[in-house]
Amino acid sequence: MIPYGKHEITNEDLDSVIDALKSDFITQGPLVPKFEDMISRYVEAPYCTSTSNGTAALHISCLALGLEQGDLLWTSPISFVASANCGLYCGADVDFVDIDERTWNISINALKKKLHQAETDNRLPKILIAVHFCGLSSEMEEIHELSREYGFKVIEDAAHAIGGSYKNQKIGTCNYSDITIFSFHPVKNLTTGEGGIAVTKDESIHQSLKNLASHGIIKDKDMLPKDSMPWYYEQQSLGFNYRLCDFQAALGISQLKRLDKYINKREEIAGIYDENIDSDKYSLQQVPPYSSSGRHIYVVRTKNNNRDKLFNFLIENGVAPMLHYIPIYRQPLYKKKEYNLSDFPQSENYFKEAITIPLYPSLENSQQERVIELLNNY
């Protein structure tokens, strides 16, 4: 069976993890800050906070930006539930912005319309989470301009997108956002097993993220009373145990050395799909010329309203596709809010048509040819 995604662990990765396990530190050692520094330099953002997973990074990012009960968080409905759940964790209400029919990210026109109405209703969001679906950046410059006009904060959910770029800048520079988060789940472009990271250009936000990820406990002497003993620490706020451990960081450090190679291979595979999938039967995500996608996943949309039949057909012929994603507002937890499906026409169309096909660096040419043959001949 050809899976839709697959991680790769090399001997170098194994050696790095074994060395970490044999060291004096399994957790809270030197490899975590080293990994954070390497990510910081890779995405060209000065501050990084590693976390136990991408969801934890989203949660503490919302808290660091002051999201609380009674506030409103907006995001894309075409994402994993974590993009919305982080708002619920903070006691906030969650609403959604419909997607663009070409990029499948948040529609700028839909966002403008929703913001205008929200201003009239005195119900503007405190935070917008812009999801970079498949690894393609949202239209961040326009989102940034709207955030300044309407006064909301911006988090980039780049769980799919490390290695991608937007307007000649690495995704994660935070030039158009307050915080960017990445996920290092096994099927992502870079893995630490489970893991995530939050990057920012703002030192005060960074300090909040650091505190929140480690119980809210302060050990930095510059932030403690003068003449404190070496053992002294203070819990100054309520935080969480969201830390990454050292052997996970060791795996991340090893994988990061190959990230650009992985991205190039993903681009190569995606290019072959772009050129060979029958455009009369399927529509593909449109990547603007000023962006490069991280190519975490590859989604096609059927034009014949036969997605479920196609899904079963691929499985019967040795290909394991996936669906990314059921719109979040359709989940039972969110149905309680009674969202109006007519507010999300593009998301509803996407949901009826989308299917994720195999894309990962070790995908063999013969396997990709088989996937294309099955799609085009179905």
Q: Tell whether 28 and 81 lie within a shared domain.
A: yes
pLDDT of residue 34: 98
| Mean pLDDT within 327-348 | 95
pLDDT of residue 211: 95
- Statement: residue 18 has pLDDT above 90: yes
Out of 256, 284, 313, a domain closes at 256
What would the two tokens of residue 364 be? Answer: 């063999």
- Statement: residue 236 has pLDDT above 90: no
The answer to whether residues 154 and 128 touch, using CB atoms and an 8 Å cutoff, is yes
pLDDT of residue 88: 98
Q: How many CB atoms lie within 10 A of CB 22?
A: 9
Q: Tell whether 268 and 312 lie within a shared domain.
A: yes
Sorting pLDDT into bands at 50, 70 and 90, what band is 204?
very high
Kindly state whether residue 226 falls inside one of the protein's structural domains: yes
Kindly state whether residue 240 falls inside one of the protein's structural domains: yes
Closest C-alpha to 210, from 250, 232, 242: 242
Number of domains in the chain: 2
Out of 224, 256, 288, a domain closes at 256
What average pLDDT does the chain have?
96
pLDDT of residue 322: 98
Residues 334, 163: Cα–Cα separation, whole Å: 32
Sorting pLDDT into bands at 50, 70 and 90, what band is 304?
confident
Number of H helices, E strands in the chain: 13, 15
- Statement: residue 221 has pLDDT above 90: no
Q: What is the CATH number of the domain that holds 307?
A: 3.90.1150.10
Q: Which helix (H) or strand (E) holds 140?
A: helix 140-150
- Bridge partners of 72, per DSSP, are 93
| Mean pLDDT within 350-364 | 97
Identity of the residue numbered 175: N
Q: Tell whether 151 and 300 lie within a shared domain.
A: no
| Mean pLDDT within 83-100 | 98
- Statement: residue 216 has pLDDT above 90: no
Dihedral pair phi/psi, residue 166, rounded to 5°: -145, 120
Q: Tell whether 299 and 194 lie within a shared domain.
A: no
Report helix, strand or coil for 113.
Answer: helix
Predicted confidence (pLDDT) per residue in 96-123, tens digit: 999 999 999 999 999 999 999 999 999 9
CA distances (Å), origin 98, targets 107, 120, 153, 348: 6, 19, 19, 9
Residues 252, 17: Cα–Cα separation, whole Å: 9
Predicted confidence (pLDDT) per residue in 127-167, tens digit: 999 999 999 999 999 999 999 999 999 999 999 999 999 99
pLDDT of residue 156: 98
Q: How many CB atoms lie within 10 A of CB 57?
A: 32
Q: Tell whether 115 and 148 lie within a shared domain.
A: yes
- Statement: residue 220 has pLDDT above 90: no
Domain containing residue 306: 259-377
CA distances (Å), origin 360, targets 28, 44, 92, 106, 278: 32, 25, 36, 25, 21
- Statement: residue 223 has pLDDT above 80: no
pLDDT of residue 305: 78
CA angle 351–352–356, rounded 5-degree value: 65
pLDDT of residue 228: 79
- Statement: residue 357 has pLDDT above 80: yes
Strands 196-200 and 179-183: antiparallel
- Statement: residue 43 has pLDDT above 80: yes
Kindly state whether residue 232 falls inside one of the protein's structural domains: yes
Q: Tell whether 196 and 224 lie within a shared domain.
A: yes
Q: Tell whether 113 and 49 lie within a shared domain.
A: yes
pLDDT of residue 336: 86
The answer to whether residues 329 and 339 touch, using CB atoms and an 8 Å cutoff, is yes
Q: Tell whether 230 and 271 lie within a shared domain.
A: no
Q: Tell whether 162 and 288 lie within a shared domain.
A: no
Out of 232, 256, 280, a domain closes at 256
pLDDT of residue 274: 98
Least confident residue range of 72-81, 271-280, 283-292, 333-342 = 333-342
Residues 334, 348: Cα–Cα separation, whole Å: 15
- Bridge partners of 127, per DSSP, are 73, 153
Least confident residue range of 48-52, 178-182, 336-340 = 336-340
Report helix, strand or coil for 30.
Answer: coil
Q: Tell whether 305 and 246 lie within a shared domain.
A: no
